[in-house]
Each structure stands twice: as structure tokens, then as C-alpha cells.
Chain A
Amino acid sequence: DQQVKQNSPSLSVQEGRISILNCDYTNSMFDYFLWYKKYPAEGPTFLISISSIKDKNEDGRFTVFLNKSAKHLSLHIVPSQPGDSAVYFCAASAVQGAQKLVFGQGTRLTINP
């Protein structure tokens, strides 16, 4: 049972444009959401997070939006840069500070010059 789903295995965006990565979840107990970025041969790197009491969190070029009623979150990257090319994982936990994360399958983002 895939509780966190990233339905797009890959996404290609032109440099300078907006990248939008999507994530859906099924478990209504999830209360805290995170995005991780992963380069080849490296472990995932924490990018940005959002608590369910918010619907938006912004950090520089990265913004995460949460729609609790739709059980959907998205990561916006603007403007997209070649260094953003990586695999992006959406993750969720039942409460902030919880012990474990449930990850989606990942979306490979490619930024084209």
C-alpha cells in the first residue's frame, strides 16, 4: 500500500522556468511533510518542510504548497537552475518530530539549458 505517491517518474523543464513537482498521500494521520533532493551516489538531502497547520512554506527559490482536503502537496522551484537536476522525494510523518518518514517513489527532474 503506497501511502505517499509521486505519479510522475520524470519531469523536464527549461532553465529559468518554474518546476512543479507533485505528491499525493492517502493516510489522513500524516501531519508533517518534507521534500528531499537526491543526486546520484549521494544520500537524500533535506530541502524544505511544511506542517499541516500551514498551506504554504517558502525558502528562497523553493515553495511547498499543502492542500489537506485534497491530500496533495507540491514543490515549486522558480527559477529552475541546471543544478536542480536531481531526484526529488516527497516524505510524510504522522507528527512533527516523529521517528520515521514514509517516502514517495521519487520524481527525476531534468533542467535543460
Chain B
Amino acid sequence: DTGVSQDPRHKITKRGQNVTFRCDPISEHNRLYWYRQTLGQGPEFLTYFQNEAQLEKSRLLSDRFSAERPKGSFSTLEIQRTEQGDSAMYLCASSLKGATEAFFGQGTRLTVV
């Protein structure tokens, strides 16, 4: 399968712990996005990479959140000192430069208890 892959699919963590999620985009896609989706809402943009450069971050992304895309391939999203409000589905998407249609992974569902 050559789609967007996210790992893990589910994560339950205690408040205050750090978590890290991984996203492997479609191999030829140079753009990678992170979105967050809470219950009853549509996905909300968090951040975006073109190759290895992080070009935009949403104001939703507090200082506890950091994302990387070393070598312009896979990406990681880390949340430090998790809070209950961080509980959500974290979606990764990728696209070709110049294309608005992004292809989404299945997401990582985070539950902070």
C-alpha cells in the first residue's frame, strides 16, 4: 500500500506525559501536513512542511507541540506535558507541490486520561 501511513493508530497516555506520533507520506509527495480533529468538528490545520522545511504553524500549535520532518521524508509530531484538551484525532496528509488535494492517513487517536 502506498498511501499515507500513521503510527500508532491509538494512544492512551496519562496527563503530563510526552507522546510522539509518526507519519510516512506518499513517497513522491514533498508536502506534508498535520491536522487535528475533535469530536463533531472538521480537521483543523496545525502545521505544514515542504520537504524538510516547516513553513507554517497554526496558532493552535502551542509551545508544547513540536513537529519535525528530517530529510524531507517521514514526520514526527511530539506533544509534551499532555493535557486532557489534547485528546483528539491527529491526522497527517501529504500532497504534491502545487496540488491542493491532500491525501490523508488514517490518523492517530490520542486519549489523555
B101 — which chain A residues lie within 8 A by C-beta?
34, 46, 49
Contact among B93, B100, B104 for A97, CB-based, below 8 A: B100
CB distance from A105 to the nearest CB of B (A): 5
A98 — which chain B residues lie within 8 A by C-beta?
100
Alpha-carbon distance between A43 and B99 when the two chains are bound, in angstroms? 18
Provide a sorted-by-A list of 27 A–B residue pairs whose CB atoms are within 8 angstroms.
Answer: A6-B42, A32-B100, A34-B100, A34-B101, A41-B106, A43-B91, A44-B43, A44-B91, A45-B104, A46-B101, A46-B102, A46-B103, A49-B100, A91-B42, A97-B98, A98-B100, A99-B33, A99-B50, A99-B56, A100-B45, A101-B43, A101-B100, A103-B42, A103-B44, A104-B42, A105-B40, A106-B41
Closest to B40 in A: A105
A106 to B42, Cβ gap below 8 A?
Answer: yes
Q: Chain A interface (Cβ within 8 Å of chain B)?
A: 4, 6, 9, 32, 34, 36, 41-46, 49, 89, 91, 93, 96-106
**Chain A interface secondary structure, helix, strand, loop or mixed?**
loop
Contact among B42, B44, B107 for A43, CB-based, below 8 A: B107
* B4 is an interface residue with CB less than 8 A from chain A: yes
Alpha-carbon distance between A45 and B4 when the two chains are bound, in angstroms? 11
Q: A97-B98, A99-B31, A99-B55 are in contact. Are A105 and B103 (CB under 8 A)?
A: no
Alpha-carbon distance between A32 and B11 when the two chains are bound, in angstroms? 34
Closest to A99 in B: B48
* B25 is an interface residue with CB less than 8 A from chain A: no
In the complex, given contacts A93-B100, A99-B50, A103-B42, what are 15 additional A-B residue pairs having Cβ atoms less than 8 angstroms apart? Answer: A4-B42, A32-B100, A43-B4, A43-B107, A44-B43, A44-B91, A44-B104, A46-B102, A97-B97, A99-B31, A99-B56, A100-B45, A101-B45, A101-B100, A106-B42
